[in-house]
Amino acid sequence: MKKICFFSVVSLLLIGAVQAQTTVTITRQSGASYSYTVQTSGSITFNGNYVKIKESATSDETAFDMGTIRKMTFSDGGNGIEQVIGGQQASVRLYPNPAQDYCVVRSSDEGLLKVTVFSMTGAKMIETTVENEGRMDISNLKSGVYMVKVNNTTTKLCKW
């Protein structure tokens, strides 16, 4: 389930992130990092247990086994947008995850947290404010994978 959620999260980010160019940095479990600048003619795809990166229409494709990836970072090439998927540096934690009726939102940010939940198609499903360590009701969501934006950090939530 963890790999399926990770694939879906990255897929959603790519839908919105790949514009003129996107820089993708993959950090492996070993700590080694690889950066790729994906042009509009390039692609980032998922096939089985692999993420495949092609920087442009004429470049060779590079494949990474998802089990070897610790973190993937997407940035828009200098316009100030960055998304980090996975890794220990995340300042937001949702638990339980997967969840059924509610999840607790924990953040390194102080005070009230602005929380927005998006479906994998990008539709806004929930927009609310919760206290740090507060519960968010997700009982009305269908089973699946969702992107959750807490203040300026995005993470995934699996609903069962």
Q: What is the pLDDT of residues 22-63, one digit of tens each?
A: 788 888 888 899 999 888 788 877 666 777 888 988 999 999
In the predicted model, is pLDDT for residue 141 greater than 90?
A: yes
DSSP three-state, residue 60: coil
The full set of domain ranges for the chain reads 2-86, 92-159
DSSP assignment, residue 6?
H
Q: What is the pLDDT of residues 3-14, one digit of tens each?
A: 444 444 444 444
Distance between CA 134 and CA 101 in Å, rounded?
14
90 or 28, which is more confident = 28
Instruction: State the pLDDT confidence band at 85, using cuts at 50, 70 and 90.
Output: low
Predicted TM-score (pTM) of this structure: 0.49
Compute the mean pLDDT over every residue in the chain, rounded to the nearest whole number: 77
Q: Any idea which fold 92-159 has?
A: Immunoglobulin-like (2.60.40)
Q: What is the per-residue pLDDT for 76?
A: 58
Q: What is the pLDDT of residues 144-159, one digit of tens each?
A: 888 888 887 878 888 8
Instruction: State the pLDDT confidence band at 81, using cuts at 50, 70 and 90.
Output: very low
34 or 66, which is more confident = 34
Q: Do 54 and 39 form a contact (C-beta atoms < 8 A)?
A: no
Question: Quick one: average pLDDT of 77-103?
Answer: 67
Give the 3-state DSSP-derived string for 65-124, with helices as H, strands as E and coil as C.
EHHHEEEEEEECCCCCCEEEEECCCCCEEEECCCECCEEEEEECCCCEEEEEEECCCCCE
Residue with tokens 């300042």: 91
- Give me the CATH code for the 2-86 domain, please: 2.30.30
